[in-house]
Chain A
């Protein structure tokens, strides 16, 4: 009864086997994304190194803008192709992507540039770059992902698996990265396409990875009763990784007057690979734990109480959840 009371105070809860469902497509799509982005960089640096030459003004800006959409488009394409078993609604993923881009472009970047005026002080010393990067840039970007997922999809019946936190947060992170890439292109009046492509890929990898990490915590807190510090710790971890990554990125790419973008790309690929593997492992282990506990003694109620959009209704296209309430075995 205790569990039924708990659920009756919250949003609709799917059964444990649903929460713990794995999506191999996400992980394969993410790894293919890494490969695709390497090919994307190779295309502009080795096969078509002269593509942007002779272009200036509007045509170069338009080409740069199209390029900045490529990382997000690649991820969505791979995910769309591989997520066939229990497909996540692509419209909702696109919705979160655009919401992430909108919040970043309309609120977060103006805050960083105008109110915090980061360009005026962030690079004054290594300490300001590291701590300012974490406490201001990292926190605002992690907050963007958090708020977009929390208020854009979190209570939606489609958010019914732990791994959905990773999927939607990654989409929000890619929306954020796309806006940063847009800004980079516009601020530089177009881009040097070879160096620009590397910069775009680094942004996309970093924000997709660290948003995905925050998404894991969001997925956990959506379906599990967690200690009070759990989600704030995940949020802080994501913000810290964003700040630390771009601090290291700056150290790796800038050595004196030389700029070594390739070293930055390698760092981003390694960090993204490690972060994605960590998230994959965490989700797998958490899913195993959920299923083990469900088999040992089902504690989860599945009573659908006040869902944002009831399953089965036009707004909720998720497969039919079990509506049976289950008693808790203390």
Chain B
């Protein structure tokens, strides 16, 4: 300790002033230290941001990945839900998965007709924005339904925050051990004002399921 303090207070025993070259060397050394530290910091950042947790939806069902920093939460009628605690909005960006028993005669074409209507009963001020056929897990046909609604996230906790316009996407596909017995609904949602900030994460979630644009 005393050696360290001695080195701190007495770097030179000559009183010699530094040369211009030494000053330049000091600048470069400090900048190099800063650069190396920032690169290490960047590596830590990427490791955290890109870290994924895996979720198996069940036997015979695909596996999806979501950001590891998201927190699991319970949800009524949901198989799984995770929220991003770093969301600035009172409505945390989230991923939820629901499995619904599908009637024998259920087809994706039927779901395309009925799903927005069903959602409109679940959410306030529901607006159906679009329905896009995509290629789902294992090359199955799937639907991506985009919509918006009004949520009141602080009401349950007794808070008086303002209601939030939520933008969401449902990925629908039929899956199961027997032939297409369950409708799988993977939902991503966020405050509409923050949608663009979470778009990459949502896209990564769908990509982990093997979702591709367009029908196969």
A in complex with B: yes
A interface list, Cβ under 8 A from B: 3, 6-7, 9-11, 13, 16, 116-121, 123-125, 128, 131-132, 134-136, 139-140, 142-143, 146, 150, 220-232, 235-236, 239, 282, 285-286, 289-290, 293-294, 298-301, 328
Given contacts A11-B20, A228-B29, contact A220 B11 (CB under 8 A): yes
Q: Which residue of B lies closest to A123 (CB)?
A: B86
The binding surface of chain A is classed by DSSP as helix
Shortest C-beta distance, B35 to chain A (Å), equals 9
Do B44 and A232 touch (CB < 8 A)?
no
CB B3 to nearest CB in A, in angstroms, measures 13
Q: Which of B7, B12, B21, B41 contacts A224 (CB 8 A)?
A: B12
Contacts of A289 in B (CB 8 A): 9-10, 13
Q: Are B41 and A136 in contact (CB under 8 A)?
A: yes
Other-chain residue from A6, A123, A128, A132 in contact with B18 (beta carbon distance below 8 A): A6
Query: In the complex, A118→B41 CA distance in Å?
Result: 10
Q: Flag whether B181 is at the interface (Cβ < 8 A).
A: no
A134 to B44, CA, bound (A): 12
Give chain B's interface residues, CB within 8 Å of chain A: 5, 7-23, 25-27, 29-30, 32-34, 37-38, 40-42, 44-45, 48-49, 68-69, 86
Of B13, B16, B49, most A-chain CB atoms within 10 Å: B16
- Knowing A116-B41, A135-B41, A135-B44, the reply to whether A235 touches B34 (Cβ < 8 A) is yes
Q: How far is B19's CA from A140's CA once the two chains are assembled, in angstroms?
A: 27
Which of B25, B32, B45 lies in contact with A136, CB distance below 8 A? Answer: B45
Neighbouring B residues of A7 by C-beta, 8 Å: 17, 19
Partner of A226, one of B11, B42, B45, B68: B11
Query: Is B34 a contact of A13 with CB atoms below 8 Å?
Result: no
Q: Is the CB of B86 within 8 A of A120?
A: yes
Which 5 residue pairs are nearest across A and B when measured between Cβ atoms? A135-B41, A136-B41, A121-B48, A226-B11, A224-B12
Please, which residues of chain A bring their CB within 8 A of the CB of B18?
A: 6, 10, 221-226
Are the CB atoms of A236 and B20 closer together than 8 Å? no
Q: Are A225 and B14 in contact (CB under 8 A)?
A: yes
> How far, in Å, is A278 (CB) from chain B's closest CB?
9
On chain B, the residues within 8 Å of A13 by CB distance are: 17
Are A10 and B12 in contact, CB atoms less than 8 angstroms apart?
no
Given known contacts A116-B42, A286-B10, is B17 in contact with A223 (CB within 8 Å)?
yes
CB pair B11–A300 under 8 Å, yes or no, is no
* Bound: A226/B30 CA distance, A: 13
The answer to whether A140 and B29 touch (CB under 8 A), given A9-B20, A300-B16, is no
Q: A6-B19, A136-B38 are contacts. A293–B33 as well, Cβ < 8 Å?
A: no
State the Cβ distance, A247 to closest chain B Cβ, in Å: 14
CB-nearest residue of chain A to B85: A123
Q: Which residues of B contact A140 (CB under 8 A)?
A: 38
Cα distance, A150 to B48, chains bound together (Å): 34
Please give me the residue from chain A that is nearest to B22 by CB atom: A225
A132 touches B11 (CB 8 A): no
Cβ distance B158 to chain A, nearest Cβ, rounded Å: 15
Residue in B15, B23, B27, B30 whose CB lies within 8 Å of A300? B15
Known contacts A225-B18, A300-B15, A300-B16: A120-B49 contact under CB 8 Å: yes
Q: Given the complex of chains A and B, what is the CA–CA distance between A77 and B18 in angstroms?
A: 34
